[in-house]
Amino acid sequence: MKNITLTNTCDCGANNSKELFGLANDERESINSIKESPVDLAEVLFISSYPPRECGIATYSQDLIKVLNLKFSNSFSFKVCAMESNGNTYPYPDEVKFVLKTSVAAAYKQLALKINKEKNIKIVLVQHEFGFFHVQEQAFVEFLNLLAKPVIIVFHTVLPNPNEKFKLNVQQIAEACESIIVMTNTSAEILMRDYDVPQQKINMIAHGTHLVPRLSKPTLKLKYKLKGRKVLTTFGLLSSGKSIETTIEALPAIVKKCPEALFLVIGKTHPEVVKTDGEAYREMLEQRVAQLEMRDHVRFINKYVDLPELLEYLQLTDIYLFTTNDPNQAVSGTFVYAMSCGCPIISTPIPHAKELITKDTGFIFDFRNSEQLAAAVLQLLNNDTLRRNIGINTLQKIASTAWENSAISHAKLFSKILGIKNTLRYNLPAINLNHLKDMTTVTGIIQFSVINRPDIRSGYTLDDNARALVATCMNFALSGDKKNITSIKKYLGFIKYCQESEGDLLNYVDKGLNFTVQNEEVNLDDSNGRAIWALGYLFSIKKLLPEKIIVDATAIIEKSLRHMETIHSTRAMAFAIKGLYHYHLSSESAESLLLIKTFADRLVGMYEHESAKNWEWYESYLTYANSILPEALLYAWLLTGETIYKDIALRSFSFLLSHIYNENGIEVISNKHWLQKGEKAGKFGEQPIDVAYTIMTLSQFYDVFHDEDYRLKMETAFNWFLGENRLHQIIYNPCTGGCYDGLEEFNINLNQGAESTVSYLLARLTIEKYKH
């Protein structure tokens, strides 16, 4: 192409030749955004626009750095060199240690020399937009070549069909850096096809998105005085490139068939537009709204909206509209933010939209085509089911782009560049019971959720309430918070409700508290075993609990013991041994000790029958909750001193670990294909519950044998929840406190039901005592 127009989404222009390079104040030299980092941490310096500068890339960098610090502040230190233009300067936060005046040629060399002298700086990451450097293109390239540190360039814009001069500029930038990040596959293809950039230098890391709690849409509409309205939304710094008029021209046709429609235009006018044109564009839009008599159907929110408020507006939105008129805009942070809030999307065909939007997630329409836009809007507004399904699909489509996952991808790239393998140190999230509480009613914990919203239609299970009782007891022992006692009573009460007159327990209860036919269709031994585990574990914190709770638990467990000997299910016996171990330590019941020996001997018999060379296990397959079998024999040895229990526990646990740990970390047995003796393990379908049980077993083995390998494997297993897994995506959701239901072949199951959420909490509470 002969002429290239650079389109900026940021206030990137600079033309004041008197601007000078300057360092920020001395405090910025040593203070990290969260805490002062140890001097031996590798420092990553971000060169970017940065808040309080109002600019999309500034916000992007701050969001990324915030999550990098939350997840990896024990692995790296993150600092910022803030870019400034047009004589502007800002009161920056502490993580900003340098300031670069982008229009001053001499400033680049001075910055390069300063960076080279700083031993702690190991990587320089540049957030690149052509408008940042258009005044000093050559000085920027020379700056990159002067740096003695590895450089990562993040191209926010990649233009196709460049002329020779533009192509050469991009090639010089690419040659000067160690690695390149782009945010779409289209951008990667353009770099390879039009700029001859080698594929191995390019990394695709999608634009990050925020996890949101999925608040009630009616509640939010009431809060923002939008009750009864069908809300269409767009947001961002306002400029003519947004083509807001495309929607305004479509409104009469939309309102004619959907009178409750309202168009929200969120965002102040772009600062660079204000400098040159004032508010002319906004005033033109307002005038056109008046001409079309649409004032009751358009609301301008003329301010830079803070993130929490913005995310609430997006969560109440029925359809998000992205109407840019620039076909070369590579990426939009606005519509991916909207997707992360479950909004159906209607967009013009920029590359980013064409990659993400399908018939299942929204509609694409031609640039400036108001008629097409109106038709797409009406198709969604007039079909609540379609709109709701598309909203859920957008959540699934965009889930992998959460900022937490972006941080993982960046951290792994940093490690790769520095030649560090498998040494990322994930920060422990705070213990968060919010989703556990949300899932719990006056009866007990609900079985399933739709995304993070409890689905009362799924009813309750003994299994989930037993696990919830263990987790709550663990949390009470750890925190001493007496609020846990209420929850303990509730989960214990549910177990009591499930107990029949003969002492056995039913598992499935519907929302009306009726026992369902499932109780007659499946074997309930495992459920009964889990209940004994929970009841027994409660006795391990007996001294902390009110006497009434202990009396009730004693009555339930003593009644259950009447029929326990009839249980022969492998895992039911193992769960029972775990519970009876704690109960026996508290009560010294001869009956419980006899049952422990009976069940342990049965497990030994199963092991001796099935084990063979290369198969040291109790069954001819590995299925679910495998680790509790060797753990149960370990408990039996601790009580009885029978050496055979210990020996088989050690051998079988070693065998299990050899099948679920590999060079990538932990990959538990697939719930889609059990591992049969003599066959290869199935892939995909990894469940949080199996990772949690493995962690709990590793904890017990480590406490008994003090083998450091057990502790390291425990840490590796817990990191699975935080993103150290096959997909490099978070399984634990720090926004809700919930845990996703599984790791599938290409995606995460976004539902956050009771089993997965409680399993994560069991793992998190177990790992707490080793965090130092």
Pairing between strand 76-84 and 22-23? unpaired
SS3 per-residue string spanning 123-185: EEEEEECHHHHCCCHHHHHHHHHHCCCCEEEEECCCCCCCCHHHHHHHHHHHHHCCEEEECCH
Q: What token pair was written down for 31?
A: 């203070």
- Between CA 649 and CA 700 the distance in angstroms is 12
The residue whose two tokens read 């301008």 is 300
Identify which of 365, 389, 380, 394 has the alpha carbon closest to the alpha carbon of residue 261.
380
Query: DSSP code of 400?
Result: G
pLDDT, tens only, 293-313: 999 999 999 998 889 999 999
Query: In Å, what is the CA distance from 296 to each residue of 289, 290, 299, 741?
Result: 9, 10, 8, 44
- Angle formed by the axes of helices 590-610 and 547-564, nearest 10°: 50
Which of 437, 323, 436 shows the shortest CA–CA distance to 369? 323
Confirm if 403 and 63 have CB atoms less than 8 A apart: yes
Alpha-carbon distance of 354 to 335, in angstroms, equals 12
* Band of pLDDT at residue 3, cut at 50, 70 and 90: very low
Q: Is the pLDDT of residue 688 over 90?
A: yes
CB contact at 8 A, 228 and 262: no
pLDDT at 603 over 70: yes
Model confidence at 9: pLDDT above 50? no
CA pair distance 50, 756, nearest whole angstrom:
38
- Of the chain, the percentage scoring pLDDT greater than 90 comes to 87
Of 80-89, 462-471, 575-584, the one with minimum mean pLDDT is 80-89
Question: Of 380, 439, 512, 474, nearest to 764 (Cα)?
Answer: 474
Query: 581 pLDDT band (50/70/90 cuts)?
Result: very high
pLDDT over 80 (residue 32): no
Q: pLDDT for 105-115, tens place per residue?
A: 999 999 999 99
pLDDT > 50? residue 24: no
**pLDDT at residue 8 above 70?**
no
Average of pLDDT values for 621-642? Answer: 97
- List the one residue out of 37, 53, 177, 33 whose CA is nearest residue 97: 33
Write out the DSSP string of 276-291: HHTTHHHHHHHHHHHH
Look at residue 502 and tell me whether its pLDDT is greater than 50. yes
In tens, the pLDDT along 584-600 reads: 999 888 899 999 999 99
Residues 232-259 have pLDDT tens digits of 999 998 999 999 999 999 999 999 999 9
pLDDT at position 85 over 70? yes
**Residue 562 banded pLDDT, cuts 50, 70, 90:** confident
- What's the confidence (pLDDT) of residue 39? 52
Short-list 78, 87, 153, 92, CA closest to 122: 78
- State residue 225's pLDDT score: 96
Per the model's pLDDT, the better-predicted residue between 682 and 262 turns out to be 262
Q: What is the pLDDT of residue 423?
A: 74
Altogether, the residues listed in the chain come to a count of 772
pLDDT at 121: 97
Confidence label for 7 from pLDDT (cuts 50, 70 and 90): very low
Phi, psi of 349 (to 5 degrees): -85, 60
Judged against a pLDDT cut of 50, whether residue 401 lies above it is answered with: yes
Position 628 pLDDT exceeds 50: yes
Best CA proximity match to 466, nearest among 432, 504, 495: 495
Checking DSSP bridges between strand 738-739 and strand 732-733, what pairing results, if any? antiparallel
Question: Long-range contacts made by residues 291-295, C-beta under 8 angstroms, separation at least 24?
Answer: 292/248, 292/249, 292/251, 292/252, 294/248, 294/251, 294/252, 294/255, 294/263
Sheet of 453-461, strand order: 446-450, 453-461, 508-509
Question: Which of 202, 207, 160 lies closest to 179, judged by CA?
Answer: 202
pLDDT for the residue numbered 422: 63
* Closest-CA residue to 751 (of 687, 708, 692): 687
Structure tokens at 138: 């050559």
Helix (H, G, I), strand (E, B) or coil at 229: coil
Q: How many Cβ atoms are within 10 Å of 513's Cβ, its own excluded?
A: 12
Average pLDDT over residues 123-127: 98
User: Chain-centre distance of CA 53, in angstroms?
Assistant: 27
Task: Flag whether pLDDT at 35 surpasses 50.
Answer: no
pLDDT digits (tens, 9 = 90+) for 36-53: 444 579 999 999 999 999
Q: Identify the DSSP state of 515.
A: B
SS3 397: helix
CB of 316 closer than 8 Å to CB of 226: yes
Q: Of 5-14, 348-357, 425-434, 484-493, which range is least confident?
A: 5-14
Beta strands in 578-694 (DSSP E): 621-622, 661-662, 665-666, 675-676
Under 8 Å between Cβ of 666 and 659: no
Find the helix or strand (DSSP H, E) in which 44 lies. strand 42-48
pLDDT digits (tens, 9 = 90+) for 183-208: 999 999 999 999 999 999 999 999 99
How many whole angstroms separate alpha carbon 307 and alpha carbon 284? Answer: 27
DSSP state of 573: H
- pLDDT on residue 420: 81
Q: Are 526 and 571 in contact (CB under 8 A)?
A: yes
Residue 227 has pLDDT above 80, yes or no: yes
Question: In this predicted model, which residue has the larger pLDDT, 9 or 761?
Answer: 761
Write down the residue that tokens 């370990």 correspond to: 634
Interval 516-525: pLDDT, tens: 999 999 999 9
Please check the confidence at residue 212 and state whether its pLDDT lies above 90: yes
Contact 697, 660 (CB under 8 A): no
pLDDT score, position 69: 98
**DSSP string covering 198-214, please?**
-GGGEEE-PPPB-----
Residue 344 near residue 319 (C-beta atoms within 8 A): yes
236 in the Ramachandran plot: left (φ > 0), alpha (ψ -120 to 50) or beta? left
Residue written as token pair 């230190």: 77
Across the beta sheet with 22-23, what order do the strands follow? Answer: 22-23, 96-101, 76-84, 42-48, 121-128, 151-155, 179-182, 202-204
Rounded Cα distance, 476 and 494, in Å: 19
